[in-house]
Structure 1
Amino acid sequence: MDRTARMVSVVTGAAGGIGRWIALGLARAGHHVILVCRNSESGNAVATWIAEQAPASSTELALTDLSSLRATQRLGREIAAAHPRLSLLVNNAGTFTARRQMTTEGHEMILAVNHLAPLILTDAVEGALLAGSPSRIVNLGSSTSDRARIDLEDLELTRHWGMLRAYGQSKLAMIMSTFARAERLRGSGVVANVVHPGMVATGLIREGGAIGIAWRLMAPFLRTEEQGADTPLHVALAPDWATITGAYVKDRIAVRPNPRALDATLAAEVDAITRALAARTICSSTTD
């Protein structure tokens, strides 16, 4: 198939885990897949793997560090300039740290990678998604958001940081901003949904310490990475999902999310606060 005739999709965190299986599924469906990876070594490896699994596939690498909001915005603008019509954005990349860490730009790491970066990247390519409509945004969620709370006065958890608390809050904030975007774009031809892939045996199993031990103990009961990619791919490709927006999806079915995510006023507050938080970094880059 001529590359110019293919639908163009973007997948973050494509170098491994669920991301590479999502990228492979899209490539097999005939999409030109932009593989967002952290470095060329892992990026070239997944591109080669996809080519071996799907010889007729079409991919390209896009390298960035998603913990940097400036780099993330720059990448999004470059993608939109090179591909002014996008069919799909899958914000799959995420992180989970055992200790509170800060990015080089001064943000709490989990919030930056799991929520702020997808927000900034989606903003940067939104025009291309609108131009390529009907198009879709698929954001990867987590069941840790189901009971999470949002601290509007301390989103970066400077006072009471906890591993699961930080992760759950980042994913709940992402759901809220996704729903806010879905409502804003309703009727535009661009749909935005959040997908929980299930409990998946990811690279965390290879981690040291308590996190690695816990995940290795659970490994027999977890889904494989390929199985974890099933629902994200379904929401990304199935005709039934072309017009559904603002949903939280588990096992291919829209389910009720954390009730806080359905509070439109709270969701708007979270979206505004996180945008302001990110904007301080983005705006400062123009004056450096």
Structure 2
Amino acid sequence: MSAAGRRTVVITGASDGIGAAAARTRVAAGDRVLIVGRSPGKTAAVAAETGAEAFVADFARFEDVRRVASEIAARVESIDVLANNAGGVFGDREPTVDGHERTFQVNHLSPFLLTELLHEQLVAGGASVVNTSSVAAVRFGAIDTTDLENSRGFTATRAYGDSKLANILHVRGLHHRYGGRGISAVAFHPGMVGTSFAAGSKSWFRLVYRTPLRRLFLISAAQGGTTLDHFIAGRPGVDWQSGAYYDERTLVAQPHPQVRDDELVEELWRRSAAMVGLPG
């Protein structure tokens, strides 16, 4: 952090929704904000509106993730916060150009890869890594390291729940591996936010998000962005605990039996590293 207190914050999935909302808040607070989005037009529009610096990457392509990591690393020497917020719910099981199931790659493997590629900058900044997870991790997630990409019995809901559980296990792995190097990590559920993230899904999420009554039980992107910003702006060890999962701002001590399985956390890390082409 600079002497003036201006932090460098990277937010993915920031072309709209809660990522864009948090970007607006952080720029207004005086931070240097770098936003990453899949849509060039939408990402440029948020950057023009806020003064954030725009980067474009499709997380369904590792090539894009590697390129954007290189672009960010060339721009900044240190990062104070990396918010891994990009993700979504998708339809049928389909492989990406990298050969992985799309939900698992976009929601877990690509954020994992980006975090590792920016490791030097994160250590330099004594950074916080904030993973946007979901209550779906608790309700539908069940990691099977022999079938991480759900080749058996695939459903969009199960794939999403597994990927969001992987986000929490990733945070546990970051805390164990890099806590001694000054990196803190947290995962959180932002609430049921009324955005378009499930528009292309065949899961029950699509029904919930398209019902005419959705405003009765969905919160706005601005409200969800406030929760994301709580963790971006918060101080690890004071405002939130590193290695933990929160349902909105409430600490969940036992979110899922697999979260406390240290061997599973390590095995998922090793397999994820192999899948993205990094040393384990």
TM-aligned CA distance change 1:103 to 1:127, over 3 Å: same
TM-aligned CA distance change 1:40 to 1:26, over 3 Å: same
**Counterpart in 2 of 1:231?**
227
**In angstroms, what is the RMSD of aligned CA positions?**
2.2
Report the residue type matching 2:245 in the other structure.
Y
* Cα contact 2:91–2:201 (8 A) shared by 1: no
**Counterpart in 2 of 1:126?**
119
Instruction: Tell me, yes or no, if structure 1 residue 273 matches structure 2 residue 267.
Output: no
C-alpha deviation, 1:25, in angstroms:
1.5
Q: Which runs of 5+ in 1 are unaligned?
A: 51-57, 284-288
Counterparts of 2:205 and 2:242 in 1: how far apart (Å)?
A: 34
Q: Which runs of 5+ in 2 are unaligned?
A: none
Aligned residue runs from structure 1 range 210-229, under 5 A = 212-217=206-211, 219=214, 220-229=216-225
Q: Normalization by structure 2: what TM-score?
A: 0.89
Instruction: Tell me, yes or no, if structure 1 residue 150 matches structure 2 residue 143.
Output: yes
* Cα contact 1:202–1:225 (8 A) shared by 2: yes
Counterparts of 1:206 and 1:65 in 2: how far apart (Å)?
A: 17
Residue 142 of structure 1 aligns to a residue whose secondary structure is: coil
Counterparts of 2:198 and 2:90 in 1: how far apart (Å)?
A: 13
* Cα contact 1:98–1:211 (8 A) shared by 2: no
**Counterpart in 2 of 1:67?**
60
TM-aligned CA distance change 1:239 to 1:150, over 3 Å: closer
C-alpha deviation, 1:116, in angstroms:
0.2
Aligned residue runs from structure 1 range 164-183, under 5 A = 164-183=157-176
**Counterpart in 2 of 1:16?**
16
Q: Normalization by structure 1: what TM-score?
A: 0.87
Instruction: Tell me, yes or no, if structure 1 residue 116 matches structure 2 residue 112.
Output: no
Report the residue type matching 1:137 in the other structure.
V
Counterparts of 1:85 and 1:261 in 2: how far apart (Å)?
A: 30
2:248 to 228, 236, 251: 251
Counterparts of 2:114 and 2:13 in 1: how far apart (Å)?
A: 13
C-alpha deviation, 1:12, in angstroms:
0.5
TM-aligned CA distance change 1:208 to 1:84, over 3 Å: closer
Residue 102 of structure 1 aligns to a residue whose secondary structure is: coil
